[in-house]
Structure 1
Amino acid sequence: MAVTHTPHPGRIVHRRARHPLGSRARRDAAVRTGAGVALWSGLLLVSYWWATGGGVGDVLASWAQALVSVGRLCGLVASVLLLVQVVLMARVPLLERAFGQDRLARDHRIIGFTSFNLMWLHIVAITWGYAGGSTPNVPAMLWRLVVDYPGMLLAAAGTVALVLVVVTSVKRARRRLRYESWHLLHLYAYLGAGLALPHQLWTGQQLATSPLRTLFWWTAWGAAAGSVLLWRVGLPLWRNARMGLRVAEVVPEGPGVASVHLTGRDLHRFDHEAGQFYTWRFLGRKGWTRANPYSLSAAPGPHHLRITVQDVGDGSRAAHDLRPGMRVLVEGPFGRLSERARTQPKVALIAAGVGMAPIRALAEGLAYGPGEAVVLQRYTDHPLYAAELDWLADKRGLRVLRLPGRRRGPHSWLGHGLGPVSDLDALRFWVPDIAERDVFLCGPGPWGDLVVRDLRAAGVPESQIHSETFSW
């Protein structure tokens, strides 16, 4: 039987928020502050232990001792940052809800490159110092360290794994890779971190010179490993066993775009919200082991979910050929593009192309009264969900502003036909009270950057701009 998604009047008209406005946003802000304090406390603590353990004195003693001492400090800081990277990738719900996937990915990238650079400084400085500060002796000393010192061979293998991750994370390399391949290669970061542990325990004497230091490092490594096992492995297994998701129907939405309707058990028991996304694996098709991120394109129901997929790659192309009854595995939900981030009674929803998927879900799932929500929909030829948005406009007072046509140029996020008016003036004309609204934004990265530029110029505070992009 065909499955269609028509919003149910009794379910969405006069929808009320389940939480007081802004309460979860304030809690998430407190979590972000706490996470920052924990990170800097860890870095300061290991730096303090290095300084009080003779690190400063060794720097002043001799060239060779200074190299070894600086190398140790770089190794300690790099180790802390490496563990932070692991936790950021572990899908910890508390962090996912507080930061959102886009910000976690950005912080993970910054911390990752910093940790990687410090790791190389650690290797170079330690090896050079052990070689007595003599450059010609460095190759022979590096060989001795890798072959003769406990745990160093494993650490070398871990370094190779981390190099692979970092190289494929450079923007130029990412552009040459499919998302699915990049995602698979990125998992080598776990291997690299795991292989470094024996080296730290066996050769890092400063790690075990006091019970407090031993407790700190074992707790840090245990928390990182436990986070991966619990949130990256255990929770998805439990959720998928409970949800029992299967494909119900694939419905074309436009050229190269289709919605996948899914059914499952007791979906209302899970903490997903309109606007969030899962990573999806469709069993029974080629390449099912590779996960693809797709947003919910309708408010989640007790037995029904919907995603919308655009044909832009191998995984998304295969999604158009799914068959009813196929089993589906998911990880998530992820993202702060939801009611959770909201702080204002009024909202503006802005999207381009298939970025309309989470915005369409928000238009249904958010709590608002007539006139309190406006949608700005950018599209080239075919507006997605036109009938559904019209229905929401009629039943809930949603204001829909469609912005067709190709973009005016690389520095504009709007289409042709507006005349000489600037993007900012057009935005202020269409939504005069934009600074008093929460703005939810989804679309291609460069396009979204232009929208955010104008939102800031229009006086919208950063805390009221909630964006998600297609970039990775």
Structure 2
Amino acid sequence: MTTLAPRTHTIPVSSVSAPPAPAVPLVHRPARRALWHAAATAVIWLTSLFVVALWVAGGGVTATLGFDGETLTTLGRLTGLVGANLLLYQVLLMARIPLFERGFGRDAITRMHRFVGFWSFWLMGAHIVLLVLGYAATAAVNPFVQLWEFIWEYPGMLLATAGTLLILLVVVTSIRRARKKLRYESWHLLHLYAYVGVFLALPHQLWTGADFLSSPAATVYWWTLWALAAASVLVFRVGIPLVRSARHGVRVHAVEPDGENGVTVHMAGRDLHRLGARGGQFFVWRFLDGAGWTRGNPFSLSGAPDGRSLRISARIAGDGTQRLTRLRPGTRVLIEGPYGHMTGDARKGSKLLLIGAGAGVAPLVSLLEEQAYRPGDAILLTRDHTERDALRQGAIARLVAERGVRHAALSGPRNPGASSWLDAGHAAWRGPDLIRYLAPDIAAYDVYVCGPVPWMDAVIRDLKQAGVRGDRIHSEAFTI
């Protein structure tokens, strides 16, 4: 283990003496990832521009010039079109479609889901307000009277109202302050109501939305997008996971404590190499051990997939992780995945610097077990509140002894200084200086970061100050 002195710039680094690792060629696929990203981005932009083109073709621009009730109405049509498009993309983004998973990665999809979700909600709200005001101005009636007529007299509007209220519930519970007060399981259950809300809010477009049926192209586009959204949920969130789970027959093999407050679950199954899982990726797991099995939880692999077994490790922090400790050997497991782009495919250099906190150490261990590097060319920096909390210590010790990994453990209270990702014992150190000390030739490294989002943000800031290029920093977050 690399030893870090708390208040000196003379940090002794233990020498590494280990048999050389077998020469395994690195696999680089940045060009393929770039193509997936370009394709996913093009789909979103082209479809969004097509929706705006529908509005323009329907006389939307001309209608805005009168500065009257028709102006408000046509702007309401535009916000409705764009909002409906984004609302359906909400479903598509979270349907685990390979195009978006490979093009953006789970971290970017999570951020986009939140961004698109709030924008679609505000646009739909503007759509309602503008149409009510526009129609009321044209008919010279009270806006509240017009709103009442919309709800009770227009086809599909009662369903749309119910759908809007469900979406409002999801939006409110997704605000970070409210989200922190909910258990993950409760929030996840509430979040599923978004699917119901979307499919209740959209049908009124067929009955009352002229822009949706104004031309064959518009009709084909909207029917196709709705069908894709529904099919994507059924295929990628239900069908494929069920088929894969049945094909591979994954079952719990053993459960063991990991550190003072952690657990590791070992699983076995048939032909697991066909999953194509990589170190650094995660699955959504459902353990068929009783009531509540339908609630899936995302856990990263904590060991390199070997085609025969899968392993996850977690810090016990809530109902989902507490449940892991009660699993019995033989329990059947439903799997959804693998997901995530924090894999060795992202590597561009020959060396590795991996920085993890808490349960974020687990996927980094799986990467170290899987990837090729020379003894001394991989550094693992772990951060825990106490040494007893540390996960995967046995696996890390083997990596140090057999693969020549350099390991430094930072334990204790949080550093109150600028580099808050460090421990208080190293308060005299600036994060960028410590990084450059551990890896003087930092340009040769790819850096993988995993842990709580605020902690990762602090690490990444110091990495950039230390001179690490953005395309050499690889991280993934799952918090919406």
Could you give the per-residue CA deviations for residues 247-301 of structure 1, whole angstroms, max 9, x where no partner exists? 1111111111010111111101112111111111111244222111111100112
**Contact 2:21 / 2:375 at 8 angstroms: preserved in 1?**
no
Show the counterpart of 1:334: 339
Normalised by the length of structure 2, the TM-score is: 0.91
Could you give the per-residue CA deviations for residues 312-367 of structure 1, whole angstroms, max 9, x where no partner exists? 11111121111111111121111112123222222211111221111111110112
Residue 106 of structure 2 corresponds to residue 91 of structure 1: no
Counterpart mapping for 1:45-444 below 5 A: 45-132=50-137, 137-379=142-384, 380-382=386-388, 383-409=390-416, 411=418, 412-418=420-426, 420-444=428-452
More displaced stretch, 120-129 vs 89-98: 89-98
Show the counterpart of 2:46: 41
Counterpart mapping for 1:7-46 below 5 A: 13-14=21-22, 16-17=24-25, 20-21=27-28, 23=29, 25-46=30-51
TM-aligned CA deviation for residue 374 of structure 1: 1.4
| Secondary structure, counterpart of 2:225 in structure 1 | helix
Distance, in Å, in 2 between the alignment partners of 1:317 and 1:419 is: 34
Distance, in Å, in 2 between the alignment partners of 1:167 and 1:419 is: 39
More displaced stretch, 97-106 vs 238-247: 97-106
Change (3 A) 1:197 1:408: closer
Distance, in Å, in 2 between the alignment partners of 1:15 and 1:298 is: 20
Could you give the per-residue CA deviations for residues 422-462 of structure 1, whole angstroms, max 9, x where no partner exists? 11111110111223311111111211111000111112122
Distance, in Å, in 2 between the alignment partners of 1:432 and 1:171 is: 39
Structure 1: which amino acid aligns with 2:449? L
| Secondary structure, counterpart of 2:424 in structure 1 | coil
TM-aligned CA deviation for residue 13 of structure 1: 4.3
Show the counterpart of 1:465: 473
Distance, in Å, in 1 between the alignment partners of 2:35 and 2:170 is: 31
Change (3 A) 1:410 1:291: farther
Distance, in Å, in 2 between the alignment partners of 1:377 and 1:292 is: 24
Distance, in Å, in 1 between the alignment partners of 2:224 and 2:202 is: 13
Q: How many residues align?
A: 458
More displaced stretch, 106-115 vs 214-223: 214-223
**Contact 1:435 / 1:458 at 8 angstroms: preserved in 2?**
no
TM-aligned CA deviation for residue 94 of structure 1: 2.9
TM-aligned CA deviation for residue 406 of structure 1: 2.4
Distance, in Å, in 1 between the alignment partners of 2:478 and 2:88 is: 27
Which blocks of at least 5 consecutive residues in structure 1 are unaligned?
Answer: 1-11
Distance, in Å, in 2 between the alignment partners of 1:202 and 1:305 is: 50
TM-aligned CA deviation for residue 105 of structure 1: 0.6
TM-aligned CA deviation for residue 136 of structure 1: 6.7
Greater relative CO (CA pairs within 8 A, separation 6+): 2
TM-aligned CA deviation for residue 418 of structure 1: 3.1
Which blocks of at least 5 consecutive residues in structure 2 are unaligned?
Answer: 1-19
Structure 1: which amino acid aligns with 2:473? I
**Contact 1:128 / 1:134 at 8 angstroms: preserved in 2?**
no
Structure 1: which amino acid aligns with 2:471? S
Distance, in Å, in 1 between the alignment partners of 2:392 and 2:43 is: 44
Distance, in Å, in 2 between the alignment partners of 1:152 and 1:367 is: 59
More displaced stretch, 415-424 vs 305-314: 415-424
Normalised by the length of structure 1, the TM-score is: 0.92
TM-aligned CA deviation for residue 404 of structure 1: 2.7
